[in-house]
Amino acid sequence: MRILSRFAPPLVLMGVIFVLSAQSSLDSGLAWDTVLRKGAHMTEFGLLWFLWWRALGYGSRLVPAAIAVAYAVTDELHQTGVEGRVGSPVDVLIDAAGVLLAILATRRLARRRASDSVVA
């Protein structure tokens, strides 16, 4: 059960990403649609990195980053076969930026906690 609680969240998120990528259009019709979708890409892949980091025991940040970015590549390849969708290397970079921001956020939080414990 412990393994399931660790590995189910990133695998479920990967499934959700796959299902969303299989949709012919995710256009909301809003004026800021592109910005919203790219922000969602960054968020979901940053979250995917975090969930893999957690699943793998909060060790190296590099292995979960490699998993998340590799999945971003496969996500874009998947989209090339979906009518109305286009796979884009730029989207992989956007996804990777989300991973990087998540890594930086966790590093900053860890530093803040370390400095708080020294003061206390």
Query: Domain of 83?
Result: 2-23+32-119
Residue 64, classed as helix, strand or coil, is: helix
Whole-number pLDDT of residue 57: 95
Q: Which of 86, 83, 88, 95 minimizes the C-alpha distance to 17?
A: 95
- Count structural domains, the chain: 1
* Cα end-to-end span (Å), the chain: 37
Chain centroid offset of residue 11 CA: 12
The per-residue pLDDT string of the chain (120 residues; one tens digit each, 9 = 90 and over) reads 789 999 999 999 999 999 999 988 777 777 778 888 899 999 999 999 999 999 999 999 999 999 999 999 999 999 999 998 889 999 999 999 999 999 999 999 988 888 877 765
Contact 77, 47 (CB under 8 A): no
